[in-house]
Amino acid sequence: MRDRSKPPGVGAVIGWTALAAIAPGAAHLRAGWRRTGLALLCAYTALLLALLWVGLTSDLAALAGRLIASSELTGVTVAVSLVLGVAWFALIVHSFVVMNPGTLPGTAQALAGGVAGTLAVAVLLPFGLVGQYAAVSQAALDDVFSAPSTPRPASGTGGGDEDDPWTGRNRVNILLLGGDADTHRVGVRTDSINVASVDVKTGNTVLLSLPRNLENVRFVPGSPMARRFPTGFRLPANPDGSREDLLFAVWEYADSHPEIFGGRKGQGTKTLIDTVGYTLGLKIDWYALVNMWGFARLIDAIGGVTLTVPQDVVFGKYDEGLVRAGTRKLRGADAMWFARSRTNSDDYTRMGRQRCVLGALLSQSDPATVLSRFNQVALATKELLRTDIPRPMLEHLVPLALKVKNAKVTSVQFVPPLINTGYPDWSKIRTVTAKALRASAVTRRPLTATAAPGVTPKATPKATPRATPKATPRATASPRTADPSAPKGITDGC
């Protein structure tokens, strides 16, 4: 039965309608629609309790991973958010109607109706955004994670199960490449070569950085490239003395010479993955190739990153650009030039700056920033990444990535004085790698150390875009760091 008492005034109509947005059924109870009001309140309470139970009893990281990994769940999310949005919109409209606003004077009716309409649209927007975000992320994920569904590594060494691919495994190793691609260049040149080795239990991560100008690269014994270059990757030098037979050129060379692989094309990716893994003594599980200028767009998408530029960094073939010294927020283009410039600098200095940019991006891309700029981030990601990680593995990799966010991240850079890039000590590289992984397995704060060589630019002849200078002696380690092989915090010295 409806309450036949005196109708409420304009303030009450607006107030009870607004209350219905956060307590469905409140307006119906006030208007005398007791059964409907109680049913709405009970249903809403049950929904809140169910969500609370899920939040308290579920692994939210694993839940996020399952949601991202499944295109079907993403579709369900879009549909459910739209249905809930329409239902909440209808709830506000009906709550307003049952308050009998027709008894109000004309001006009051218009005011109450305007407020109710605005409120109805306002409650619809969050659900619409969730649906839109889910649809955008679905498109981005489909574009990026399009590899076959069979994972590259086995589900575990020693017989894992389908629910936990890390069974029998201590670490996951992902090759992170920065592609120095451009419109005037042919093929893929890997400008930045790093391996992120992640402890699957703690998320502790070691970032192992190999210099692009590593010479005499050894290939996996018995492989086609090893048969072609049994004593290491060596080609005649360019007329100007620069070399193209360095680590950064392995991918392109393999792609350009299918005859080495019995006529099979597109062998550059696998060749580089196997070569880097062999160099470090690791099994590489997957790779991710980052387009460096797509990376700049990602930085722009999150609103820039705050960095300390220790000295002016000049860039461009004719010194036409400058990133000025100081601590401030850099846009994507300046952040990339800060990371990539070799003008008046060298590859080792640049590796240190790249590490600083990566550390800043990891620490400053908080969830609130990503959500507030979600569309821009998703669009930039589509242009940014190329990978062989299959989408179903995201169910397990997303929770692992969330662990990394709050875990210990250290880095080792295989540059002078640790490694002579012209005559690398391959055994030492593997020994240092194993030592760093053992140290990472211990849960403690990152070791206090200075940055690896490569923070302060020093004057050296400028290299051409395709040429890379030979290894040159570097400054000795800081007195605080007697052992140059000791892992560094990823932002140490930045």
For residue 186 the two structure tokens come to 């042919």
Query: 95 CB contacts (<8 Å, ≥6 apart)?
Result: 16, 17, 20, 24, 26, 27, 28
Residue 47: count of CB within 10 angstroms of its CB: 12
Q: Which of 402, 400, 395, 401 is nearest to 72 (CA)?
A: 395
The mean predicted confidence, pLDDT, of the chain is: 79
Q: What is the mean pLDDT of residues 335-363?
A: 78
- Beta bridge pairs of residue 208: 195, 412
Distance between CA atoms of 465 and 463, rounded to whole angstroms? 6
Distance between CA atoms of 409 and 412, rounded to whole angstroms? 11
Q: What is the pLDDT of residue 65?
A: 66
Per-residue pLDDT band for 157 (boundaries 50, 70, 90) equals very low
Distance between CA atoms of 255 and 284, rounded to whole angstroms? 20
Distance between CA atoms of 83 and 77, rounded to whole angstroms? 10
Q: Which of 292, 277, 272, 268 is nearest to 195 (CA)?
A: 277
Q: What is the pLDDT of residue 476?
A: 37
Q: Is the pTM of this model over 0.75?
A: no
Per-residue pLDDT band for 178 (boundaries 50, 70, 90) equals confident
Distance between CA atoms of 468 and 475, rounded to whole angstroms? 19
Per-residue pLDDT band for 307 (boundaries 50, 70, 90) equals confident
Q: What is the mean pLDDT of residues 272-288?
A: 95
Q: What is the pLDDT of residue 158?
A: 42
The answer to whether 398 and 64 are in contact (CB under 8 A) is yes
Find which of 258-267, 463-472, 482-491 is predicted with most confidence, using mean pLDDT: 258-267
Q: What is the pLDDT of residue 1?
A: 43
DSSP 479: T
Does the pLDDT value for residue 352 go beyond 70? yes
DSSP string, 386-410: EE--BGGGHHHHHHHHHHHHTS-EE
Angle (CA) 436-198-482 rounded to 5° is: 20
Cis peptide before 105 (omega within 30 of 0): no
**C-alpha dist (Å) from residue 286 to 99, 330, 407, 465:** 60, 31, 21, 28
Q: What is the pLDDT of residue 150?
A: 53
Q: Report helix, strand or coil for 380.
A: helix
Kindly report, residue by residue over 215-257, the tens digit of the pLDDT.
999 999 999 999 999 999 999 888 887 778 899 899 999 999 9
Higher local confidence (pLDDT), 106 or 368: 106
Distance of CA 62 to the CA centre of its chain: 17
Q: What is the mean pLDDT of residues 410-416?
A: 90
